[in-house]
A = this chain, B = another copy of it.
């Protein structure tokens, strides 16, 4: 609860300072992997595991952290869950930070079970993503792990998909004289209180927020309102967000990581020198170039908007 506490969020802050803002999303589908490697592997799950390792090694020094989307692994059943576990363990064994993109949201005893599952054991991650719909009693049980082991979380706040207009964007009213605000503000305001009570040496709270870089006109107001929240920022690239949009959600050149997945994992398919016998080394090298280009794109936008 003291400001000299050190959380994983502080480690992430340091990683952004030294390596830039890119969060590499390992949302790895078998279809993204070079055909020659898929043929060689005994199973799609094994092909994904080999591909992930190659990508992690190639981009490691240019990425602030990794995010692993569990849906892609659950899809492959038990074999996929094993590769999920191995991927998390590999990143952590290299000294990297990994966000388990699991978007869990359940209450009290169940939340405690989930927290035990994803902050320890086979599926241990440094951070998780959480969904706030059921309320703060679906978030708070995870906080014990912030205090005991430095763990962090990013709570869905204003996401980057079109459908966020259905609920996150609804105006909510409370007893006067409260001012109207959107649902995502109600979520963000609660998270800001949590962050104030669990603040690390970097000045950011142990738990942060998912805020997409897709609604440029709101970005400055969000950054100002939530000065103590570290942001996980989706929406860059394919979803329409530019580096200059992401930069508006950063603060003093830090305070957030920007995620990209497919544009990095599939970068090799767009290379002019791609050949039919392309392998994981080729794909990993293309991923590395894509990460560096994205890192420099954001750094340049931050420089223009300090």
Contacts and interface: CB of A to CB of B under 8 A. Distances in A.
A180 interface: yes
Given A71-B106, A72-B113, A81-B81, A163 B135 contact: yes
B75 A117 contact: yes
Nearest to A113: B71
| Main DSSP-derived SS at the A contact region | helix
Interface string A82-110: 10010000000000000000011111111
A137 B110 contact: no
A4 interface: no
A80 B123 CA distance: 11
A290 interface: no
A121 interface: yes
A173 interface: yes
Give 4 nearest A-B pairs by CB, closest first: A135-B163, A77-B122, A137-B163, A135-B166
Interface string A202-233: 00000000000000000000000000000000
Most buried by B among A85, A165, A170, A186: A170
Report the contact-size class of chain A (Cβ under 8 Å from the partner).
Answer: 35 or more
A154 B72 CA distance: 22
A168 to B, nearest CB: 7
Given A75-B121, A132-B167, A135-B166, A105 B107 contact: no
A156 interface: yes
Contacts of A77: 85, 117, 121-123
A250 B60 CA distance: 55
Contacts of A107: 159, 161, 163
A136 B78 contact: no
Contacts of A173: 170-173, 180
Nearest to A104: B103
B156 A170 contact: no
A135 B167 contact: yes
Contacts of A6: none
Contacts of A71: 104, 106, 110-111, 113-114, 117
A133 B168 contact: yes
Nearest to A155: B133
A83 to B, nearest CB: 11
A33 to B, nearest CB: 15
